[in-house]
Chains A and B, each alone.
Chain A
Amino acid sequence: MENALLIGLARQSALGRQLDAIANNIANVNTSGFKADNTLFEEYLNTPAHEDNFVGSDRRISFVQDRGTYRDMTQGPVEETKNPLDVAIDGSAFLAVQTQGGERYTRDGNLHINSQGQLVTVAGNPVLGTSGPIVFQQTDHDINITPDGTITVVEGSGRTDSIRGTLRLVSFTDAQKMLKEGFNLYAAGEGGAPQADTKSRIQQGFIEKSNVNSVAEMSRMMEVSRAYTSIANLMQQQAELQKTAIQQLADVPT
């Protein structure tokens, strides 16, 4: 009889975690380059002592287990900002970023220039070009970034473009296995070695927004909330059942 309670408990803890994932997606609905997480559940069959030789054999009971979260790696909508240092990546590539902990990857194309003239992310980590960090000279202006990531500038009072580097675009054989580190950064993790990506294109003056589908997240959230309540009701009925059984069985006629 306790099985129903335990199955209910399994469902509730899974739903709790699903809501956590939804809450994180909704919190990041306006985060540039954010990729939504979805939860995946699986049935977990438990085999208690059972007897299959009778007609109408004992049924197995199945619990629910949260199997994992998988990332929706689809491209997010692209917003025009007209800022020359905003880049959106059209394709599956990532920008390579140099951090304290080593090389990391990001889809957040909100770039800036620091006091040393280096091209950096909004958090101040240098963005890597094909030959190391990209550094601008003090008199550079009119920065242009071509679709293949080549950065050209006009230097001083000159009239011709000078090349300052090429953004390093990398892709992974299994981007799903990359590790989300937060701060819009991904570590390569088990995703394989970064490979140069020649298919992806850079769009200057655009920003890739979060790919969270807010309507889907809201409906998923309602589903979770309703399922949680209905499981709670079911468990309550089970408890009532037990209570009645205990009371009535123990009711010794006098």
Chain B
Amino acid sequence: MQALHTAATGMAAQELSVQVISNNIANLQTTGYKKQTAEFQDLIYQHIARVGAQASAQGTILPIGIDIGGGVKTVGTPRSMTQGTLSQTGNDLDLSITGEGFFKILMPDGTFQYTRDGTFQMDNTGRVVNAQGNPVQPTITIPQNATGLTVNAQGQVSVQLPGSATTTSTIVGTIGLTRFVNKGGLLPVGNNDFTDTPSSGAPQDGTAALEGYGNINQGSLENANVDVVSEMSNLIAAQRAYEMNAKVITAADQMMQSATAMFR
């Protein structure tokens, strides 16, 4: 009885679905987190009687066939790259992006990672760094004693230097943004960071507020784009589907039991 294996594929798929949902809910408060969904496809069919096959020598054809499916498989856990809402923090170096771009981070090994998490700080040399201490690209060093740090929508970082007139501010650098053709193809590496893959396409560095890269907003952070209500309803759906598949296994088991118990 194939039903036993079919239901097993169903249970495995729903288990994975619950895993994905629980990760979304766990990251409800993670800055710049993008939710994932588990996507399923039906497995190949056993065409016992192929639809449209000749049913007689007179040329009549079968209007319907017998197609028995083999269950379900997970095709992927795509990431929904929609914009998250912004929450105001008031910190000078809390940045958020409204648009397509990503912040570019230089890792200690010389490679680049990309993030939507704009929780930046200054390190002991005045560089603008992320929570792990890795500098944002292009590297910006804030001079000592500088005050009144502002970041505008284009990513230009300007400060007031001591001794100069209070009305003039000096631009010390521009935070760049990076775009990808397929944002969904980025590889998550933890710490809110992504790396580029052959699927995401090559990173295209550019300037904020231009060509759809998105604006940089100072003093706010991007919340996770997880929608609690839809996650909860998905969780219920996955759990019930899991239970139903378990029931199918029980039914198949009972049927096989009664078949083996027939002649003793």
Expressed in whole angstroms, the Cα–Cα distance for A232 and B259 within the complex equals: 6
Interface pick from B5-13, B106-114, B133-141: B5-13
- Does B87 reach chain A (CB closer than 8 Å)? no
Q: Interface residues of B, CB < 8 Å — how many?
A: 77
Contact between chains at A114 and B199 (CB < 8 Å): yes
Contact between chains at B52 and A189 (CB < 8 Å): yes
Contacts of A20 in B (CB 8 A): 1-3, 6, 68
Contact between chains at B41 and A19 (CB < 8 Å): no
Expressed in whole angstroms, the Cα–Cα distance for A116 and B6 within the complex equals: 36
Expressed in whole angstroms, the Cα–Cα distance for A120 and B39 within the complex equals: 14
With A26-B10, A26-B241, A34-B42 as contacts: A182 and B1 at CB distance below 8 Å = no
Contacts of A136 in B (CB 8 A): 181
Expressed in whole angstroms, the Cα–Cα distance for A115 and B248 within the complex equals: 41
Contact between chains at B255 and A16 (CB < 8 Å): yes
Contact between chains at B262 and A235 (CB < 8 Å): yes
Expressed in whole angstroms, the Cα–Cα distance for A232 and B14 within the complex equals: 33
CB contacts under 8 Å to A, within B238-264, are 238, 240-241, 244-245, 247-248, 251-252, 254-255, 258-259, 261-263
What per-residue 1/0 map shows which CB atoms of A131-150 lie under 8 Å from chain B?
00000101111100000000
CB of A142 to closest CB in B, whole Å: 8
Contact between chains at A232 and B69 (CB < 8 Å): no
In the complex, residue of chain A having the shortest beta-carbon distance to the beta carbon of B250: A225
Contact between chains at A23 and B248 (CB < 8 Å): yes
Contact between chains at A157 and B41 (CB < 8 Å): no
In the complex, residue of chain A having the shortest beta-carbon distance to the beta carbon of B5: A23
Residues of B within 8 A of A (CB): 1-4, 6-7, 9-10, 13-14, 17, 37, 39-45, 47-52, 61-72, 75-76, 78, 80, 82, 99-100, 179, 181-182, 184-185, 198-201, 204, 209-212, 227, 230, 237-238, 240-241, 244-245, 247-248, 251-252, 254-255, 258-259, 261-263
Residues of A within 8 A of B (CB): 12, 15-17, 19-24, 26-32, 34, 37, 40, 66-70, 79-84, 108, 110, 112-117, 122-123, 136, 138-142, 154-157, 176-184, 189-190, 214, 217-218, 221-222, 224-225, 228-229, 232-233, 235-236, 239
